[in-house]
């Protein structure tokens, strides 16, 4: 069962923005985490990304938050690739040999999951070893066959990861554009101030030069 956990990013504490009341994040929906995911880890990722920016604008902070979510999605999808393999391995085992009626797919799946992460008890491990022996497969053979079996779905997950990379590239270009724009505005402000001061100096000198 999955539950939604809404991340409430504490803008006052977390965001290194000039004026923290001007953050865009309260007006955008927050990224959500799955129940087994660490909120602290998610936020520390965001903070480390933000720390790489020099005085980011509110829009840049909002984009960095989206970028952090993309990185998080890449992690999720990478875990899914392994899960897909496990699913396919369990499917192959449950219908291995002439035992298609004997093995419950869900039970095999759970036992295999424990077996692969090393948390299986003696009975489960013995059971999986027995099924592998009956189906005349080693674990690596099973993995290879499962990879072939799950290839279509693994390709889908690769597409999803590729999409997140593309999204990150878009976000980076947008952040660069905002940074360039703000530097350009600052430079123009400085040039304007310099021109104004020059102008005022000229006016003063022209007043001084006038014969009384």
Partner 1 sequence: MPNHRRSLANRSNALKSTGPRSVAGKRASSQNSRKHGLNSTPDFESSSEYRALVDLIAEEGFSGFACADIASSLLNYRRVMDAYYDTYASPEPVDEFLRDANMKASNPIFGELLSPSGSEPQDVREIAAFFASMQRQERRKGGPASRRSADTHKLIRYQRNGIARLSRAIRQG
How far apart are CB 163 and partner 1 at their closest, in Å? 5
How far apart are CB 129 and partner 1 at their closest, in Å? 23
Q: Contact, 99 vs 168, CB < 8 A?
A: no
How far apart are CB 25 and partner 1 at their closest, in Å? 10
How far apart are CB 180 and partner 1 at their closest, in Å? 10
Furthest CA-CA distance within the chain: 116
Of 9 and 157, the one with the shorter C-beta distance to partner 1 is: 157
Of 12 and 208, the one with the shorter C-beta distance to partner 1 is: 12
How far apart are CB 16 and partner 1 at their closest, in Å? 16
Provide the 10 A C-beta neighbour count for residue 7: 17
Of 133 and 183, the one with the shorter C-beta distance to partner 1 is: 183
How far apart are CB 196 and partner 1 at their closest, in Å? 19
∠ CA 156-160-165, nearest 5°, is 145
For 96, the token pair is: 């291995």
Buried b (16+ CB within 10 A) or exposed e, 28-60: eeebebeeeeeeeebbebbeebbeebeebbbbb
Of 19 and 208, the one with the shorter C-beta distance to partner 1 is: 19
Q: Which of 97, 136, 127 is nearest to 109 (CA)?
A: 127
Of 4 and 205, the one with the shorter C-beta distance to partner 1 is: 4
Which residues lie near partner 1 (CB under 8 A)?
A: 2, 4, 22, 24, 27-29, 31-32, 34, 57-59, 62-63, 66, 69, 73, 76-77, 80, 83-84, 86-88, 90-91, 101, 104-106, 109, 150, 153, 156-157, 159-160, 163, 166-167, 170-171, 173-174, 177-178, 181-182, 185
CA–CA distance, 90 with 82 (Å, rounded to integer): 12
Q: Contact, 37 vs 79, CB < 8 A?
A: no
Of 104 and 121, the one with the shorter C-beta distance to partner 1 is: 104
CA–CA distance, 142 with 41 (Å, rounded to integer): 34
Beta bridge partners of 33: 5
């Amino acid at each position: 069962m999955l539950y939604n956990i809404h991340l409430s990013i504490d803008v006052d504490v977390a965001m290194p923005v000039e004026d923290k009341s001007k953050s865009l994040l309260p007006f955008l929906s927050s990224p959500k985490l799955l129940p087994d995911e660490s909120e602290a880890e998610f936020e520390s990722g965001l903070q480390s990304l933000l720390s790489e920016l020099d005085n980011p604008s509110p829009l840049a902070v909002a984009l960095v938050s989206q970028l952090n979510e993309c990185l998080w999605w890449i992690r999720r999808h990478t875990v899914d690739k392994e899960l897909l393999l496990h699913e396919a391995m369990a499917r192959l085992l449950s219908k291995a040999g002439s035992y298609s009626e004997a093995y419950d797919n869900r039970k095999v799946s759970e036992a295999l999951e424990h077996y692969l992460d090393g948390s299986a008890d003696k009975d489960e491990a013995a059971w999986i070893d027995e099924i592998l022996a009956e189906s005349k497969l080693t674990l690596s053979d099973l993995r290879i066959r499962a990879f072939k079996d799950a290839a279509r779905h693994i390709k889908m997950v690769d597409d999803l990861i590729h999409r997140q990379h593309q999204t990150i590239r878009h976000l980076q270009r947008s952040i660069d554009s905002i940074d360039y724009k703000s530097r350009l505005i600052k430079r123009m402000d400085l040039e304007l101030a310099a021109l104004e001061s020059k102008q005022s100096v000229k006016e003063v000198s022209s007043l001084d030069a006038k014969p009384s």
